[in-house]
Amino acid sequence: MNKGLLISVLLAVIVLGAWFIMRSGEPQVEQDISSTQATTSVASSPPAPVNDLPNLPLTKPDQTKFNAKDLKGKTVLIFFEPDCEHCQREANEMQKHLPAFAKYSVYFFSPAPFDQMQQFFMKYNLSGPNISYAQTPFNIILQELGAIPAPSVYIYSEQGKLIKAFKGETPMANILPLL
């Protein structure tokens, strides 16, 4: 009899365990369905345009603040680091072709300190009424543009649509035809 009681209790525990397992699975199924519905509703909404000017808060050396997203007209955004050899070579090449950029507002941006940026611009003689440099936090660059190499050049149309992005050192011969 003792043996029969033990088997009955064991069977009851197995049945209860199975019942709890099945029951605990039900809300999970409902949760999965709602997660799928949420994913479906997000996926079915129109995707945000990926080729617009990025939402980059920028600060000029005079502490003027603006956002790249608000820029008007033809724009070139260039991510650079003053101590980057690739950026230095590209800046040297760009300086030789500054007239080709005349119809664009050119904004160099970096998380680097302003004194380093200023030295970079003086060394490579990057000046003109259409050329500016600004600072933006590195985490914002990562958030808006992803992990991009320095230099990276983004050319935008007058409507703020991306024409072409060049990531990494790029010969001017590839950039100039798009201006």
Indicate if 142 and 77 belong to the same structural domain: yes
Separation of alpha carbons 129 and 10, rounded Å:
86
138 lies in some domain: yes
Strands 152-156, 105-110: pairing is: unpaired
Separation of alpha carbons 147 and 31, rounded Å:
34
Indicate if 81 and 139 belong to the same structural domain: yes
Indicate if 99 and 16 belong to the same structural domain: no
Indicate if 158 and 109 belong to the same structural domain: yes
Indicate if 72 and 135 belong to the same structural domain: yes
Indicate if 25 and 66 belong to the same structural domain: no
51 lies in some domain: no
Query: Using one digit for the tens of pLDDT, what is the confidence trace for 24-80?
Result: 444 433 333 333 344 444 444 555 554 489 999 999 999 999 999 999 999 999 999
28 lies in some domain: yes
Mean pLDDT of 155-170: 96
Range of the domain at 104: 57-178
List the alpha helices (DSSP H) in the chain. 2-44, 85-96, 114-123, 138-145, 172-175
The token duo for 38 is: 């949420």
Indicate if 69 and 151 belong to the same structural domain: yes
Query: Using one digit for the tens of pLDDT, what is the confidence trace for 76-122?
Result: 999 999 999 999 999 999 999 999 999 999 999 999 999 999 999 99
pTM over 0.75, yes/no:
no
Indicate if 97 and 157 belong to the same structural domain: yes
